[in-house]
């Protein structure tokens, strides 16, 4: 599964844990030991060690997320300790973080600590109330962690409510403008927030007549200003959806545009050349998150390509690689003259010699070109190393409203010289062979499936061995 995470272009894994899992005598549950025999008899921390060890071996980085004090109790825990509980105190919370910081000291795979997941309800920011003021608790814990491990990033989420303005749990960072978190090493501070769609909770802004084009105002005021002002690094720590409604699809489309740098949602990236957008971790990989589902479907293997189509173009380069994890083909849709009223057209991808889910990610939607504009654009995500030789797919247009179609088909061409170079280092060698053998058997969308038949077999091995040596 971690190989699949890497193959999909992700570079970092955010791993939730509870303080309960670190207690003496803590045990694991819900592990399929038939598939994971090496985890049999291990403590939760030892299991996490195994995951982190493998992440490091394939170049993934890890953020640790203290999701709750008691296991699966995050819905009930407003603040970083459990009131009235003699064990789950602030002291225990800090001590466990210090233990983890020391435990992983010198391990470059683990890069940071998300101190407390989703402060909410009674959690405050900047009120000087010691039992609820999250920003001050984050300073106390963050400085203790940095004393134990100066290399780590300290990730501080927002609260739910600030000055009677409410947003998502952990999503309100308005207080940073007046009461920023102060750490012993300011360059280790990362602010983080969570964002979700209407299907999770019907926030007022989803009913605004301007939706979804009002969302930049919502995001700017709650957290986007931190990125705009370059106050500190910003991590969108959670966002996700099952994409079962038009509203959710619109939300994810606008959110990915925003974090890529279209800060006023006008269709144009507002960042200087070379400046990256915001960092993010998607919730979640696993399909059993009730509100959102996962990147993987219910079989825990098949990739949800509809979700990947939105987020893959926003991925950063893989760690240790100079090549981008994915690219995007843009198709301009041009009108013969500027319309006096909005024009819309339905579009969708179709296979040619390039296959959806292997060479490109299937996508569809309705493009609207506002009155007075001559051109719109649709985009299709192409995973890195997706094609061998030259392959083509098409974008097909239909059902125009307010215009007629002069040309209803556009062709996208993919050219990759060396699809057998699985790790992108320019040479087909033993490292690529190891990746292919490690993924042997059925797969979905993995780059080692060189012939695109849904499984790693002897045919793929033959293709790789036949291309041995430097890529052309």
Q: How far is 155 from 135, CA to CA, in rounded Å?
A: 11
Cα(416)–Cα(383) distance, rounded to whole angstroms?
11
Distances (CA, A) of 106 to 40, 149, 151: 27, 8, 8
Question: Which residue in the list 139, 157, 195, 238 is annotated as catalytic?
Answer: 238
- Considering the candidates 20, 90, 118, 244, report the single residue annotated as catalytic: 118
Query: Residue 108: is it exposed, middle or buried by C-beta count within 10 angstroms (0-12/13-18/19+)?
Result: exposed
In 3D space, the residue among 189, 201, 186, 204 whose CA is nearest the CA of residue 157 turns out to be 189
What is the CB neighbour count within 10 angstroms for residue 174? 20
Instruction: Answer yes or no: 118 catalytic.
Output: yes
Q: How far is CA 334 from CA 131, 259, 364, in A?
A: 59, 27, 18
Cβ atoms < 10 Å from Cβ of 240: 25
- Annotate 148-182 with DSSP letters as a single string: H-TTSEEEEE-BSEETTEE-STT-B-GGGGTS---
| Beta strands at 153-157 and 110-114: parallel, antiparallel or unpaired | parallel
Q: Could you confirm whether 238 is annotated as catalytic?
A: yes
Report which secondary-structure segment, H or E, holds 345: strand 343-351
Residue 424 has which token pair?
A: 């992108």
Q: Is 72 left (phi over 0), alpha (psi -120 to 50) or beta?
A: left
Q: Any idea which residues carry the catalytic annotation? A: 118, 238
């Amino acid at each position: 599964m971690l190989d699949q995470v890497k193959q999909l272009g992700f570079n970092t894994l955010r791993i939730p844990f509870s303080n309960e899992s670190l207690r003496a005598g803590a045990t694991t549950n819900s592990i399929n030991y038939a598939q994971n025999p090496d985890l049999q008899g291990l403590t939760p921390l030892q299991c996490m060690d195994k995951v982190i060890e493998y992440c490091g071996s394939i170049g993934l980085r890890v953020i640790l997320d203290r999701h709750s004090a008691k296991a699966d109790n995050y819905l009930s825990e407003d603040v970083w300790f459990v009131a009235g509980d003699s064990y789950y105190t602030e002291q225990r919370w800090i001590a466990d973080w210090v233990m983890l910081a020391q435990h992983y000291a010198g391990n470059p795979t683990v890069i940071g600590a998300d101190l407390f997941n989703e402060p909410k309800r009674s959690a405050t920011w900047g009120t000087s109330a010691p039992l609820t003021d999250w920003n001050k608790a984050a300073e106390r814990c963050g400085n203790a962690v940095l004393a134990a491990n100066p290399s780590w990033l300290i990730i501080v989420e927002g609260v739910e409510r600030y000055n009677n303005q409410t947003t998502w749990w952990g999503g309100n960072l308005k207080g940073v403008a007046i009461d920023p978190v102060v750490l012993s090493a300011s360059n280790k501070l990362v602010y983080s927030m969570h964002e979700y769609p209407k299907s999770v909770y019907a926030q007022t802004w989803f009913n605004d007549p301007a939706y979804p084009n009002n969302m930049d105002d919502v995001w700017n005021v709650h957290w986007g200003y931190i990125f705009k002002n370059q106050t500190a690094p910003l991590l969108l720590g959670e966002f996700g959806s099952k994409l079962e409604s038009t509203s959710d699809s619109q939300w994810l489309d606008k959110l990915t545009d925003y974090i890529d740098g279209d800060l006023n949602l006008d269709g144009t990236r507002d960042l200087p050349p070379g400046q990256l957008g915001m960092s993010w971790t998607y919730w979640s990989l696993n399909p059993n998150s009730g509100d959102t589902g996962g990147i993987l479907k219910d079989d825990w293997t098949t990739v949800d390509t509809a979700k990947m189509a939105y987020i893959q173009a926003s991925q950063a380069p893989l760690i240790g690689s100079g090549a981008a994890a994915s690219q995007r083909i843009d198709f301009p849709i041009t009108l013969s003259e500027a319309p006096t009223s909005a024009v819309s057209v339905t579009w969708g991808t179709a296979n040619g010699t390039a296959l959806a889910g292997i060479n490109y990610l299937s996508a569809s939607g309705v493009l609207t070109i506002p009155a007075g504009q001559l051109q719109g654009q649709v985009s299709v995500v192409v995973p890195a190393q997706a094609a061998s030789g030259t392959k083509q797919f098409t974008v097909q247009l239909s059902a125009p409203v307010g215009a007629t179609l002069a040309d209803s088909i556009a062709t996208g061409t993919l050219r990759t010289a060396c699809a057998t170079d699985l790790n992108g280092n320019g040479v087909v060698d033993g490292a690529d062979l190891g990746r292919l053998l490690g993924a042997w058997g059925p797969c979905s969308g993995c780059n080692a499936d060189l012939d695109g038949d849904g499984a790693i077999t002897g045919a793929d091995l033959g293709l790789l061995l036949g291309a041995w040596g430097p890529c052309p």
